[in-house]
Amino acid sequence: MNFTSLRRRLVIATTALLFVAGCDRDDPTGGTVSDSMTLDQASTRVEEIVREAQAALPPGIELTSRFEGSMPCDDPDDGGPKGRVFAERQYQVVYPAGWPVDQALPTVRQYWEQRGYKVIKDHQPGGDRLLSVENPADGFRIGIEIYARDSGRTDIFLVGSCPCVWEHGSPPA
């Protein structure tokens, strides 16, 4: 092995070690804490998955924002540390008269399943229906909620969220 090859291997090994050391920190509970995407990055991705769901629905709809924000992951279900947050976006689907409301849930279910999302909740009591799926590759979730109102109107909502992230991409010092 020549000097240049050895030097190249040392640089690669050192870079990898520094990367790993910079990404994981000791957790006071005994584990390690990894960096994450930032809350802004996660919010952008949540918006993307909501817009993908919108595009999968039959044409003619608009989305009206109901909630955009973040909340603390006080009781994270991923086994990770507290102190992280998650982004959520909720939109009402506004559709014209005659729009195929009954196709909304099966259409997005098929769309998400074809893209590898896994169903995490499928609740369909009576006229109300809720379907929530998760991308197993990154933990992002998207759901559709359909409510049959007494007035005969059906309200539809798209709700997207991200897994727990550090607001600025890394745990507080």
pTM above 0.85, yes or no: no
pLDDT for res 33: 57
SS3 116: coil
pLDDT for res 29: 40
pLDDT for res 4: 40
Residues 6+ apart with CB under 8 A from 23: 34, 35
| Mean pLDDT over the full length of the chain | 83
Residues 6+ apart with CB under 8 A from 40: none
Interval 98-147: pLDDT, tens: 999 999 999 999 999 999 999 999 998 777 999 999 999 999 999 999 99
Least confident interval from 16-20, 22-26, 59-63, 91-95 = 16-20
Sign of CA dihedral 47, 51, 52, 57: positive
